Amino acid sequence: MNNAAEVILELKKCASPEKADVLLRFFKTGPGEYGYGDIFLGITMPQIHSLVRNCGNLSYGEIKKLIDSKFHEARMMGLLCLVARTKGADIKTRKMIASIYLAKRALVNNWDLVDLSAPKVLGEYLQVAPKEIKLLEKLSKEKLMWSRRIAILATFALIRAGQFSQTLKLAERYLSDKEDLMHKATGWMLREVGKRDVDVLRTFLNKHRKQMPRTMLRYAIEKFSPSERKYFMN
């Protein structure tokens, strides 16, 4: 496949109206819901990953067109193409890919799109370009919820490298965030910190558990023993 139009044509060949109806409900696309107005073709992730493997010839301009698409799965394809291009890329290329990603962040507009792209595209770039870490601060203050979620999910790459400070800094800021999807994402990242250093997580929880949103706290302590979960929840 050599251009975005060909990719979308292949996606439409895989489309399932029945699956699309399920996805519309699952990703909350009704009026007033976080995914309102999104359009699904009804394609499974294995099908999407299979198609991504045939997109090696796409230019970055064509990848941008995919991310601009009204179809959720086409945007996913474009983002996964960016993820694929980061593998083995030099820092100059990673910076360019991260710049494309950030310029299109308003279209990274559901939790699955964020979660499958932010750690690789932005997080791994920040690992090799630590002076750019200020990007997380900027994103974390934006009104757009998806920007804030991108920020916390990007720290997953840092967590895997044993660097927890940015995750803890954002988690502290998000204690007052009003969105449940942010509570879930932040609790998840705190849990990942705890998998690597449980004492760091316990210290954070002991300091903030009284003001933590309950969803965030539940996600963070999911791997604790029943007695310890009960202690923190009480």
C-alpha 175: how far from its chain's center?
19
CA distances from 59 to 79, 117, 183 (A): 13, 18, 36
pLDDT in tens, 54-106: 898 899 999 999 999 999 999 999 999 999 999 999 999 999 999 999 999 99
Average pLDDT over residues 28-52: 94
Instruction: Measure the N-to-C terminal CA separation of the chain; round to a whole number of Å.
Output: 55
3-state secondary structure 147-169: HHHHHHHHHHHHHHCCCCHHHHH
CA dihedral in degrees (168, 88, 128, 84; nearest 10)?
-40
CB-count exposure of residue 40 (10 Å: 0-12, 13-18, 19+): buried
pLDDT of residue 57: 87
6 pLDDT tier (thresholds 50, 70, 90) = very high
Q: Considering the chain, what is the average pLDDT of its residues?
A: 96
234 pLDDT tier (thresholds 50, 70, 90) = confident
What's this model's pTM, rounded to 2 decimal places? 0.95
pLDDT in tens, 126-159: 999 999 999 999 999 999 999 999 999 999 999 9
pLDDT of residue 227: 95
Taking the CB of residue 218, how many other CB atoms lie within 10 A of it?
17
| Percent of the chain whose predicted confidence (pLDDT) is above 70 | 100
pLDDT, greater one: 57 or 219: 219
Q: Please give the domain boundaries of the chain with CATH numbers for all domains.
A: 1-87 (1.25.10.90)
Q: In angstroms, rounded to a whole number, what is the distance separating the alpha carbons of residues 42 and 12? A: 9
pLDDT of residue 2: 83
Of 47, 28, 46, the C-alpha closest to 37 is 28
Instruction: Report yes or no: 42 and 15 within 8 Å, Cβ to Cβ.
Output: yes
